[in-house]
Structure 1
Amino acid sequence: MAFRGFDAGKLSTLANDLDTLGRNSGKLHSRLATLLTTAQQNLPPGQNASRNPDLQDLVGDLVPMPFFGRRRLPGSLGGELGDMQTSMKRRIKQLEGLQELERRGYPVGDGALFLDEQPPDPKKIDDALRHLQELQGKDFGTNGNRDDLEKVSGELDGLTAAELDALVTKASPKDLAFYNQLLTNTDDSGWNPFDENGLPEDRRRDTLSRMLAKISPENVPKFQAAFPGTQPTFTNTGAYEDGGNNQNGQSNSGIHWATPSDPLFKDGVSADDVNQHQFGDCWYVASLAGLAQKDPKFVQDGIKQNPNGTVSVRVWDKSGNYQWVTMTADLPTDQNGNPISTYGNGESWPAYYEKAFAMVYSDDGDGERGYGGIEGDDPKKSSPYLTGKEGEDLTAGGFLGIGEHDDKNIASLKKAFDSGKVVTVSTPDDESLEKNHPPEWEPSYCTNHAYYVRGFTDDGKIILGNPWGSSYPPITVSQDQFNKYFQGPEAFDAP
């Protein structure tokens, strides 16, 4: 019987036929090679048994040996058809499992038919859903609810995408919201100051990221409503409250969430892809641009798009915990469809790095969160989230060594840069410098701002990049100029 347009019985017959053809391809190869070899032997010198170069290659190739590097047709069909029928049979089992799931009353999204995973197990879904619902009204005792939450979290993590999507579809919004309430409440009960409630932030974020990466696009709004922490707020930013960024002069109206049409990558990763736009997180964006310059492959390997359209970014938190943070594909956008957050030149990867950072970062455990929480801080603090490694002040002890240190010595920065480090600097919050700086630095120089080192000239000057993007030219700075207009050189190791 057909299921959503697929007939498992007919597909199984086709897979078996492909298996038979694959097994017989070796015999066909040998027979054809024998025929061509015999014909070649009976022809006058200089004549070929076939005008087709692929068939002529079979002359003398009487025994196909695909495992030893020979990939000629028709012998090579043994492996190719074998792989194809194995994949088909695996997908057929998934199809039959989905059909059984629907027969038992579980909703099955059309997208689940194209998943390449183990067939769904209704019992696993039943058990996980029951344990989720049993959290309502349960007495967790004086030790807190963490053991129960870890059990449910482990069950949810162990579900396939089809299983998890069926569970999220069938679970009530109340069940999911209550689970989120328990996950996020890590306070003690008041009866026992040593009890354990909720899940620590890194484990909570990890389990929710795994869930969000698996569910169908149709279930994402329901999931976000139940777990609002999976979307960072932008209403606490200067761009939202003031209608733009007063440093670079960009303005906006009607900020809302929208999904961009640009791909993650268009032509790889480059520092010139990074354009800060309107949020005041130059300290993070400068570090991201510097890392993109030093190790573009590391940056590209740290982001991926999931089959359901969500995006996952590799992040470390302030405790050094490594995880993939999953988020929806929508981004802060103005009423005209222009990006408000950090963006690329026709590619969106910088925006998702920034969005993941806004979900994870806080200056302290009770600090402000979201995009507003990443505005205005120290570039050195961004490196642990980007690479898992601490940053360092180049003014706190001297990179050149004892007796050679100068707080603003460009040679010190060059030595750090040449050793493979990402180097950032900042400018003072001084209005007089804003009004009185070398005119050739326009429009790239700004006070109370962060820059990343792009390189050095042969005569010892430093070249600084503005994280506002490629439309703001790099500025070249002498030692005397650096002493007056810049401060706070910092560095961190690129992986």
Structure 2
Amino acid sequence: MTFRGFDAAKLRRLAKDLDGLGQNSGRLHTQLAAVLTTAQQNLPAGQSASRSPALQDLVGDLVPMPFFGRRSLPGSLGGELGEMQSSMTRRITQLEGLQELARKGYPVSDSLLFLDEAAPDAKKIDDALRRLEGLRGTDFGVNGNRDDLEKIARELDGLTAAEADALIAKASPEDLAFFNQLATCTDDSGWSPFDNNGLPESRLRQTLGGMLAKISPENIGTFQTAFPGIQPTFTNTGAYESGGNNQNGQTNNGIHWAPPSDPLFNNGVSADDVNQRQFGDCWYVASLAGLAQKDPQFIQDGIKQNPNGTVSVRVWDKNGSYQWITMTADLPTDQNGSPISTYGNGETWPAYYEKAFAIAYADDGDGERGYGGIEGDDPKKSAPYLTGQEGQDLRTGGFLGIGEHDDKNLSSLKNAFDAGKVLTVSTPPDESLAKNHPKSWDPSYCTNHAYYVRGFTDDGKIILGNPWGTAGYKPIVVSQEEFNKYFQSPEAFDVP
């Protein structure tokens, strides 16, 4: 039987043929090597048995090496075809499971065909549906509902992509919304101050993020409606309330969510990709730019695009444990299609790092959530979320270590920078400095703002980067005397 145009039986025969070819490749390798070796021995000196460099490598290669494999054709096909056959067999088994699921009337998305996962099990879908339906009217007793919700969360964690997608498609919107209502309410019942209700935010996010990364694009809208907490709000930001960023002068009209047209990466990762726009989170963006400068690969390894278009970013929590936060691909955008959040130069990775942080930082419980919750704070507070390691003030007796050091001493800051640390500094909230600073710094200098250290000049001056980006905001070169007057609060964190 064919399914979406694929015949599983024929594909299994193809996989079997590939496996047979792989098993015979070692014998063919030895036979071909023997022929070429004999030919080479009978040719005059200076002549080759083959004009192909790949075949010439077989001369003298007569001893099979089953434990180490072959580095050249045709012997190398043994491992390659074997791995291909194994992958095909797993995916064909999943396809056959989807066929069975469709026969039973479950919805199956084309995007889920041939995934490298276990075949879907209709019983697991039905069990999860019954558990969700059973939440209504359940008496959770004096201990609260956390145990029951945790059981459901573990069940949802164990679903394959096809199973999770079928569940979201078949579950009633009311059942999904009720599960979300129970899971997000962690207040006590009023009967007992010792009951446990809801799920911890990070635990719920783990389950919802895992499902969001798996389900088909067709069901993402349904999922987002049922679980609105997966999207951080921007209505509590200055950009939304005031129509822009009063520091860099950027304005907007009609902020809404929209998918970007740019890829995650355009040309690798660079600090110059980081352009803070209209949200007031320079303290985080400066740290992100500094980390991108010190270890671009660490940034690149910490973000991935899932097959369904969602994006996952690696974020640590305040306890030092990392998790992958999965989010929808849309970003805050104005009515002209211009990005509102931190963005890159033709790439979107900075925007998703910021969006993930806006989701994760809510765990600090300061009352604000979403993008508004990350506006206006201390750069060292961003370090644990970016790297899992604490940020630190560079003060006397702190990192700078032995002896007495002035925390504004540029030579001491250079030592920290040369030791591999990411350094940030801030400017005082002093409006007189905004009017009374070296004009060569315009328009990069701003009060009540965070900067990251880009490096040092040969004569000991510090080079500071503005997280607004390098387009129109050139780095500031600052002497020791100028640093003492116009900057404060040097902070640092280690790159893992």
1:63 positional shift: 4.4
2: distance between equivalents of 1:344 and 1:445? 21
1: distance between equivalents of 2:408 and 2:32? 77
Instruction: List aligned pairs for 1:235-250, cutoff 5 A.
Output: 235-250=235-250
1: distance between equivalents of 2:480 and 2:41? 82
Instruction: List aligned pairs for 1:222-233, cutoff 5 A.
Output: 222-233=222-233
1: distance between equivalents of 2:41 and 2:398? 80
The AA in structure 1 aligned to 2:493 is F
The AA in structure 1 aligned to 2:297 is K
**20 and 475 in structure 1: CA distance in 2 versus 1, 3 angstrom threshold:** same
Secondary structure of residue in 1 paired with 2:382:
helix
What is the match of residue 417 of structure 1?
417
Instruction: List aligned pairs for 1:419-458, cutoff 5 A.
Output: 419-458=419-458
1:485 positional shift: 1.1
Instruction: Please say if 1:164 is aligned against 2:201.
Output: no
1:312 positional shift: 0.8
1:268 positional shift: 1.9
1:54-82 per-residue CA deviation (whole Å, 9 max, x = no partner) reads 44443443444364453333333332222
What is the match of residue 82 of structure 1?
82
**384 and 35 in structure 1: CA distance in 2 versus 1, 3 angstrom threshold:** closer
1: distance between equivalents of 2:317 and 2:55? 60
2: distance between equivalents of 1:403 and 1:326? 46
Instruction: Please say if 1:286 is aligned against 2:281.
Output: no
The AA in structure 2 aligned to 1:228 is P
**450 and 9 in structure 1: CA distance in 2 versus 1, 3 angstrom threshold:** same
2: distance between equivalents of 1:293 and 1:52? 45
**80 and 245 in structure 1: CA distance in 2 versus 1, 3 angstrom threshold:** same
**80 and 414 in structure 1: CA distance in 2 versus 1, 3 angstrom threshold:** closer
The AA in structure 2 aligned to 1:11 is L
What is the match of residue 489 of structure 1?
490
2: distance between equivalents of 1:98 and 1:287? 46
2: distance between equivalents of 1:271 and 1:23? 50
Indicate conservation of the 8 Å contact 2:396/2:404, yes or no: no
**135 and 37 in structure 1: CA distance in 2 versus 1, 3 angstrom threshold:** same
Using the aligned pairs only, state the percent identity.
Answer: 80
Task: Provide the TM-score with structure 1 as the length reference.
Answer: 0.95
Gaps of 5+ in 2: none
Range with bigger deviation, 47-56 or 305-314: 47-56
2: distance between equivalents of 1:368 and 1:232? 11
What is the match of residue 479 of structure 1?
480
Indicate conservation of the 8 Å contact 2:410/2:462, yes or no: yes
1: distance between equivalents of 2:57 and 2:385? 56
**155 and 444 in structure 1: CA distance in 2 versus 1, 3 angstrom threshold:** same
Range with bigger deviation, 51-60 or 443-452: 51-60
2: distance between equivalents of 1:219 and 1:145? 27
Gaps of 5+ in 1: none
Range with bigger deviation, 390-399 or 150-159: 390-399
1:173-196 per-residue CA deviation (whole Å, 9 max, x = no partner) reads 111111111110000000010000
The AA in structure 1 aligned to 2:109 is G
1:85-135 per-residue CA deviation (whole Å, 9 max, x = no partner) reads 222211111110111111122111101103111111122222122112211
Secondary structure of residue in 2 paired with 1:190:
coil
The AA in structure 2 aligned to 1:71 is R
1:293 positional shift: 1.5
Indicate conservation of the 8 Å contact 1:239/1:245, yes or no: yes
2: distance between equivalents of 1:487 and 1:10? 70
Q: Give the aligned CA root-mean-square deviation in angstroms.
A: 2.0
2: distance between equivalents of 1:184 and 1:165? 22
Aligned length: 495
Task: Provide the TM-score with structure 2 as the length reference.
Answer: 0.95
**32 and 197 in structure 1: CA distance in 2 versus 1, 3 angstrom threshold:** same
The AA in structure 2 aligned to 1:127 is D
1:154 positional shift: 0.4
What is the match of residue 328 of structure 1?
328
Secondary structure of residue in 2 paired with 1:345:
coil
**335 and 58 in structure 1: CA distance in 2 versus 1, 3 angstrom threshold:** same
Instruction: List aligned pairs for 1:125-140, cutoff 5 A.
Output: 125-140=125-140
2: distance between equivalents of 1:270 and 1:48? 49
Secondary structure of residue in 1 paired with 2:159:
coil
Indicate conservation of the 8 Å contact 1:21/1:81, yes or no: yes
What is the match of residue 298 of structure 1?
298
Indicate conservation of the 8 Å contact 1:398/1:404, yes or no: no
The AA in structure 2 aligned to 1:300 is Q
1:200 positional shift: 0.9
Indicate conservation of the 8 Å contact 1:398/1:412, yes or no: no
What is the match of residue 267 of structure 1?
267
Indicate conservation of the 8 Å contact 1:244/1:251, yes or no: yes
Instruction: Please say if 1:211 is aligned against 2:240.
Output: no
Instruction: Please say if 1:58 is aligned against 2:82.
Output: no
2: distance between equivalents of 1:114 and 1:470? 44
2: distance between equivalents of 1:55 and 1:291? 48
1:260 positional shift: 1.4
What is the match of residue 380 of structure 2?
380
Secondary structure of residue in 1 paired with 2:221:
helix
2: distance between equivalents of 1:401 and 1:25? 63
Range with bigger deviation, 130-139 or 312-321: 312-321
1: distance between equivalents of 2:72 and 2:423? 53
What is the match of residue 314 of structure 2?
314
What is the match of residue 116 of structure 1?
116
Indicate conservation of the 8 Å contact 2:396/2:406, yes or no: no
Range with bigger deviation, 277-286 or 403-412: 403-412
Indicate conservation of the 8 Å contact 2:92/2:114, yes or no: no
**410 and 51 in structure 1: CA distance in 2 versus 1, 3 angstrom threshold:** closer
Indicate conservation of the 8 Å contact 1:202/1:321, yes or no: no
2: distance between equivalents of 1:348 and 1:62? 52
